[in-house]
Amino acid sequence: MAHPAQLGFQDATSPLMEELLHFHDHALMIVLLISVMVLYIITCLITTKMTDKHILDSQEIEIVWTVLPAITLILIALPSLRILYLMDEINDPHLTIKAMGHQWYWSYEYTDYEDLAFDSYMLPTQDLSPGQFRLLEADHRMVVPVESPIRVLISAEDVLHSWVVPTLGIKMDAVPGRLNQTAFITARPGVYYGQCSEICGANHSFMPIVVEAVPLNHFEAWTTLMLEEA
Amino acid sequence: MAGHEEESKSKGFRLLGILDVQNTPCARDAILHGAGGSVTAGLLHFLVTSRVRRSYHVGFAGFMLTTLGSWFYCRLNNAKLRVQQRMIQDGIKNKIVYEGTVIDPTRKHGAQTPPGPS
């Protein structure tokens, strides 16, 4: 999860987010170099003693400042498109989960094997235990097996919502009447937090998403327990 | 103690407020190489030509080229290592999961079959 006053991304938990972080570093280095170049040019302009009122054109510099930006854009576009197509690769998910957005909670349905469905409400601040995170904890987590490709089908029952888990690199709108699909693999066990990212009413800030990745045997035990409680 | 180390690691130094040089792989090396290349190129040009302003321009060009070159070289090696790491991790996982089963890829076909009647 994010730490206080964090500016950058969270650590990546899925391979896709690792690629996105890599691309972000690449793009930021290009941005830094462009900024340094602009600052240098401004410094040169301010400190020059020469003025020439008779310059009409200069073919060489025109070619330079046309070709260089084109090359820069290609250097940014190629890795970007690669990741874009990587996101849409057909993987063979081991599990499909439906995440439905409501005002103001999420509901999850595991219907592959048994009919398991539950709601996930935010834990109110007064009900938190020491060590739990304010506005992030939920009463029921979306538990998934670690290192297994998971497909999530996202929709909404009432208004627009958005299902987001930054550390997995997932952001997908929950649109009523539409089914959006995303997929992820968690590289390690843990608890991963996200928050609704599409304004949906008074409690838009109070419907978090909590994904818990556990080993497969723990996941099977959890599903058995949830089915018994239902 | 561990908390203090994590805190200092998380608060990286952002060059021009843009790039976190401490926590971004290859960034620190690229900037340092760029600085070295800039000083070298500018100084050499000045020693040869004694033109101050032009040497500044050459030094700046040296910075850009050296930084970019070092950055791409380091990132390319980094990406190759990450691919190898993922392949090794998948290989270890598959070996553990499939070892001893019928679909074990390292199992020699026909090695277990008994010889025919004599």
A46-65: pLDDT as tens digits: 888 777 777 788 899 899 99
pLDDT for A25 equals 92
Contacting A with CB below 8 Å, chain B residues are: 10, 12, 14-16, 18-20, 23-27, 30, 57, 60, 63-64, 67-68, 71, 75, 79, 82, 86, 93
* Domain spans, chain A: 15-48+57-88, 95-229
pLDDT for A135 equals 94
What value does the mean pLDDT of chain B take? 81
Q: Which helix (H) or strand (E) holds B19?
A: strand B19-20
A–B: how many Cβ contacts below 8 A? 45
For A:41-70, CB contacts with B below 8 A are 44
Establish if A204 touches chain B: CB-CB under 8 angstroms: no
- Reduced to 3 states (helix: H, G, I; strand: E, B; else coil), residue A132 is coil
How close B55 comes to chain A (CA, Å)?
Answer: 13
pLDDT for A55 equals 77
Residue B117 has pLDDT above 60, yes or no: no
pLDDT for B110 equals 55
Option in A7, A26, A35 nearest B75 (CB): A26
pLDDT for B24 equals 86
pLDDT for B1 equals 45
First-last CA distance in chain B? 74
Establish if A25 touches chain B: CB-CB under 8 angstroms: yes
Q: Give the pTM.
A: 0.83
Say if residue A27 is exposed, middle or buried (CB neighbours under 10 Å; 0-12, 13-18, 19+).
middle
Option in A7, A22, A37 nearest B64 (CB): A37
pLDDT for B104 equals 75
Asked if B54 contacts A50 with a C-beta cutoff of 8 angstroms, the reply is no
CB spacing of A15 vs B60 below 8 angstroms: no
Identify the residue among B4, B13, B64, B70 best suited for mutation to test binding to A, counting A beta carbons within 10 A and taking the highest: B64
Asked if A21 contacts A12 with a C-beta cutoff of 8 angstroms, the reply is yes
Option in A15, A25, A35 nearest B16 (CB): A35
Residues A33 and A49: their CA atoms lie apart, in Å, by 26
Nearest to A152 by CA among A174, A135, A131: A174
CB spacing of B27 vs A25 below 8 angstroms: yes
Average of per-residue pLDDT across B31-60: 94
**Residue A30 Rama label (left phi>0; alpha psi -120 to 50; beta):** alpha
- Number of Cβ within 10 Å of residue A87's Cβ equals 13
pLDDT above 90 coverage of chain B, percent: 45
Report the chain B residue with the minimal C-alpha distance to residue A36: B16
Residues B3 and A221: their CA atoms lie apart, in Å, by 34
Specify the CATH architecture of the domain A95-229. Sandwich (2.60)
pLDDT by residue (tens digit) across B69-107? 999 999 999 989 988 998 998 888 888 878 778 777 677
- Chain A residue numbers touching B68 (CB-CB < 8 A): 33
- Chain B residue numbers touching A29 (CB-CB < 8 A): 19, 24, 27, 30, 67, 71
Tell me which residue has tokens 């699909």.
A181
Residue B11 has pLDDT above 70, yes or no: no
Asked if A138 contacts A208 with a C-beta cutoff of 8 angstroms, the reply is yes
> How does DSSP assign B76-89, residue by residue?
HHHHHHHHHHHHHH
How close A101 comes to chain B (CA, Å)?
Answer: 33
CB spacing of B93 vs A33 below 8 angstroms: no
pLDDT for B3 equals 47
Order the strands of the A208-214 sheet from edge to edge.
A142-145, A208-214, A190-195
Establish if A15 touches chain B: CB-CB under 8 angstroms: yes
Handedness of CA B79, B83, B85, B86 (dihedral sign): positive
Residues A187 and A168: their CA atoms lie apart, in Å, by 10
> How does DSSP assign A2-70, residue by residue?
PPTT--SPPPP-SHHHHHHHHHHHHHHHHHHHHHHHHHHHHHHHHH-----TT----HHHHHHHHHHHH
Going residue by residue through chain A (230 aa), what tens digit of pLDDT does each one get? 788 888 889 999 999 999 999 999 999 999 999 999 999 999 998 888 777 777 788 899 899 999 999 999 999 999 999 999 998 887 789 999 999 999 999 999 999 878 899 999 999 999 999 999 999 999 999 999 999 999 999 999 999 999 999 999 999 999 999 999 999 999 999 999 999 999 999 999 999 999 999 999 999 999 999 988 87
